[in-house]
Amino acid sequence: MIQTDICIIGAGPVGLFAVFEAGLLKMRCHLIDVLPQVGGQLSEIYPHKPIYDIPGYPIVKAQELIDNQMEQIKPFSPTFTLGERVERVEKQEDGSYIVITSDNTHVHCQAIAIAGGLGCFEPRKPELEGVDTFERKGIDYMVKNPETYRDKTLVIAGGGDSALDWTIFLSDIAKKVTLVHRSDSFRGAPDSADKVYDLAQKGKIDLLLSHNLLSAHGNGSLSHVKLSNKSKEELLLEADYLIPLYGLTPKLGPIADWGLNIDKNAIEVNTFDYSTNVERIYAIGDINTYPGKLKLILCGYHEATLMVQSAFKYVYPDQKLSFKYTTVNGVNAF
C-alpha cells in the first residue's frame, strides 16, 4: 500500500504543477498515469511541438516544459506509478480513499486530483479514401520528431492550434509545406493564424482554404493526396507525408463510473476550488468543464493552485492554512 496525501491521476503538465503547489504546503503527492512516462500528451504526442503561451517563455518545446517541471518538483520527492490505468476508487470510513490500478497497485490518500487531460484518447481520423493503407507509411496523426520531415514535401490538414503551430514550425524544416483547411477561417489563436497568412504571402508555404481531403495515393508509401474545393474541382498534390491534425477523441474510461457529474466527456467542477460533486475528488486541466472553460495549460496551472489550497483541509484537518515564506531551491516562495 502506497501512502500519500494527494493522489494525482495524470502526470501531464497540470498534474506536475499540482505537485509543486502541494509541496509548498507540505503535502506529499503520488501520480498515476497510463502512459509509460511523465508528460502526458506533451511527451507522448508532440514532444517537439512549440508552445507560445507559457509566461516567461516566448517559445518552449513541449518536452522541454515537462523536463523543467520535473526539475521544479524534485525538492518535494513525488512518487509515480506509470504504465497503469486507474480502475476504481474505494472510499474509507474516515473519508480517505484507496485508489486501485489495472495492475492492482493500491494507493491510500486523503484526496484525489484527476488531471487526466483528455482521458484515454485517440486521434480523429479524416474521412479519406485510403487512410488505413498509408497509416505509418506517409500518414501521421502526430509529430513526434520534426527531423523526420526535413527536406520532405508535407501536406498538413486542420484549422486548430496544432495545425497552425506545426505549419509555422515545419516551414523552416520541410522542403515544402501545404496547409489545407476545409473552412475559410481558422479556429486557432489569431496570432498564429496571422503568422500562417504571412508565411503564405511570402511564399514560404502554400495555403489552401475551403478545400477537403478526398483520397490518398501511392505505391507502398504515400506519394499524392487528392483534394477538392468548393466548386468540386479536384486537385492532386505531391506529398511525402500527410499530417491530419483534427484533434483527439476523448474517452474518460473507468472514471465515468465513479458517480461524477459528466458533461460531454468532461467532469463538472465548482470553480471555487475545482472540486467535483464527490467529496475529496477534484478535477483540474482539460478533463474538467465549467462555464467559460478554456483548455489551456496556463488555466490548468491556476486550477491546480486553488485545488491544493482546498485539499489542505483533508490532509491537515486540525491546522489552519496560513501563508509563510519558505525556501525552494534557494528561492523564497509562499
Binding-site positions for FAD read: 33, 41, 46, 86, 121, 286, 327
3-state helix, strand, coil in the chain (%, to 5): 25, 30, 40
Rounded distance between C-alpha atoms, residue 243 and residue 146, angstroms: 12
Identify the burial level of 193 via C-beta atoms within 10 angstroms of its C-beta, where 0-12 means exposed, 13-18 middle and 19 or more buried: middle
Here the cell at position 141 is 496523426
Binding-site positions read: 33, 41, 46, 86, 121, 286, 327
Here the cell at position 123 is 486521434
The DSSP bridge partners found for residue 30 are 7, 79
What are the CB-based long-range contacts (under 8 Å, 24+) for 100-103?
Answer: 101/32
Here the cell at position 331 is 528561492
Q: How far is CA 156 from the centre of its chain?
A: 20
HSE-CB at 205 with a 13 A cutoff on CA atoms is: 28
Q: Which residue has the cell 488505413?
A: 132
E strand or H helix at 333: strand 331-333
Rounded distance between C-alpha atoms, residue 272 and residue 16, angstroms: 21
